[in-house]
């Protein structure tokens, strides 16, 4: 069974991926945040992977398998003031 998740990119990540959002169809229903991260880091050249945080459905630090229709947001910390 395949599922579709929506990925959202913020700040410099949106520039590095070249888009603010995209939908991703996943073959497996066992996909989690880590496999989505791995997918993105393989597909795009992301400069600062260590400090990026990922929110699932507007919640930070949520583990476990993703469901059909989930929204996964990639947030870098900003430093500007």
Partner 1 sequence: MTMNSNDLNNRHSRQIRLPEVGPDGQEALRHARVLIVGMGGLGCPAAQYLAAAGVGSLGLMDYDTVNLSNLHRQILYKENDIGQHKAKMAKRALQEINSEIEILAIMDWLIEDNAVELFKSFDLVIDGSDNFRTKYLINDASVLTHTPWIYASIYKFQGQLSVFNYKSGPTYRCLFPTTTNRNISCEEVGVMGPLPGVLGTLQASEAIKMILNTDGVLSGKLKLIDLLTHQDKLIEIQRNDSEIEKVKKRGIIPEVFSCTLEPRNKFYLDVRDPFEEPRLDAKNVINIPMNRLDEKQSDIPADQPVHVICQTGKRSSQAIEQLQTKYGFNNLVNVVGGIQAIMNKNKQKTHA
Contact residues: partner 1, CB under 8 A: 10-12, 20, 47-48, 50-51, 53, 55, 58-61, 73, 75, 77-81
Q: How far apart are CA 33 and CA 70, in angstroms?
A: 11
Q: Which is nearer to partner 1, 30 or 53 (CB)?
A: 53
How wide is the angle at C-alpha 18 spanned by C-alphas 12 and 19, nearest 5°?
90
Q: Give CA separation, 27 vs 2, 3, 13, 51, in Å.
A: 4, 7, 25, 28
Q: Which is nearer to partner 1, 3 or 13 (CB)?
A: 13
Q: Which is nearer to partner 1, 25 or 58 (CB)?
A: 58
Nearest-approach distance from CB 77 to partner 1, in angstroms: 5
């Amino acid at each position: 069974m395949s599922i579709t998740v929506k990925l959202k990119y913020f700040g410099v990540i949106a520039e590095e991926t070249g888009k603010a959002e995209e939908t991703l169809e996943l073959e497996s229903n066992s996909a989690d945040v880590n496999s989505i991260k791995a997918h993105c880091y393989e597909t795009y050249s992301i400069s600062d992977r260590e400090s990026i945080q990922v929110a699932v459905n507007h919640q930070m630090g949520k583990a476990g398998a993703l469901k059909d229709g989930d929204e996964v947001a990639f947030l870098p910390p900003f430093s500007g003031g």
